[in-house]
Amino acid sequence: MSKGKILLTGAAGYIGSHTWVQLSEAGYDVVGVDNFYNSERNVIGRIEKILGKTVNFEEIDCSDRDAFSKVFQKHPDIVGAVHFAACKAVGESIDKPLLYYRNNIVSLLNLISLMNEQAEKANIVFSSSCTVYGQPDKEHLPIAENAPLKRSLSPYGKSKQMAEEILSDSVIAFPELKVCALRYFNPIGAHPSALIGELPRGVPQNLVPFVTQTAAGIRDHLNVFGNDYNTPDGSCIRDYIYVVDLANAHVKAIDKLLSSTDSNANNHTIEEPTYIEAAKTGRWFVYNLGTGKGLSVLELVNGFMKATGVNLPYQIAPRRQGDIEQVWADPKKAERELGWKADTPIEDVLRSAWNWQKSLG
């Protein structure tokens, strides 16, 4: 018996595809939508192969309200949505800010209004990002949800900050709306089946796909952007989280929204000075998703070589505009309130990424 019908936007993307699998395996009926701007059509068939069944998919652009509306007309029994549909590359956002603001904000506005107007229930899990914190002060590391939100260094990050503000205002305005904003750190790795994983178009913007493509001989070498940061080895520090662990957090978030009521607001820890009025409603939740451990770029590179036994040629390159020096999560609130924890060993995660790369031929 289905636990309910969930709309999944950006469903063919990296995190979306893994979340689709985990939601389905958890008993939810998933309706996936994507316009394949930054994903591949064959992902749908790969998801079907993992699940062993035909899936429900609609090819639409979420920023096209009329087209998006038809999904809700076709599936009026949608009880929740997980919203991934967005452009996501920091570097590209600096070159194409209007694309990021138009796509990332308009698609969200359409989702909120259509959920309120046409869905059976209005529960939204939003794909946010640690970029909302900007470059945190060292006294706030690891980052908890009550850390100040600083001005982002990229249009991508600013679009996530704007989206959270829109959602928190909407929770106050619309009593039927419940929102869980998941601020996650750096997802890496691939499904154990090696049927889905991170597949960037063109030159990868993220570290691990560049690592695996270099290891496979597709790239001559890996550039490590900067070795003069104020970190132990001079390279940037991030919190790298296994994508399947991350996908499971979205299942936990949907579970929470569907089971929560205004009356159990006292069970929620209000620690967010930025959105305290929204949190007081008992319908606004924010969680950091990470491992709680920072790993430098050079540590990850060396860890990949150790985990796979594959040599990885790399060189030091100048710093990259928009990069944050160091950031990692304090995930205790998610563990306490969602019952979720990222505990897959980094060696296993890196091997899964390599297995995925090898499966591509």
As annotated, the active-site residues are 156
How far CA 249 is from CA of 126, 181, 334, 340, in Å, comes to 12, 11, 8, 6
Count each helix (H run) and each strand (E run) in the chain, helices first: 12, 13
Nearest partner of 241 among 144, 148, 157, 353, judged by Cα: 353
Contact 10, 34 (CB under 8 A): yes
* Cα atoms in the Cβ-side hemisphere of radius 13 Å centred on 222: 25
Phi/psi at 24 (5° precision): -65, -45
Q: Which residues pair with 285 in a beta bridge?
A: 180
How far CA 45 is from CA of 41, 57, 80, 210, in Å, comes to 8, 11, 24, 25
Nearest partner of 127 among 268, 239, 13, judged by Cα: 13
Block residue for tokens 């020096």: 325
- What's the first-to-final CA gap in the chain, in angstroms? 39
Contact 148, 140 (CB under 8 A): yes
Amino acid at 194: A
Q: Helix (H, G, I), strand (E, B), or coil: what is residue 180?
A: strand
State both tokens at 322: 């928009």
Amino acid at 215: A
Nearest partner of 238 among 296, 290, 316, 318, judged by Cα: 296
- Distance from C-alpha of 47 to C-alpha of 191, rounded to nearest angstrom: 10
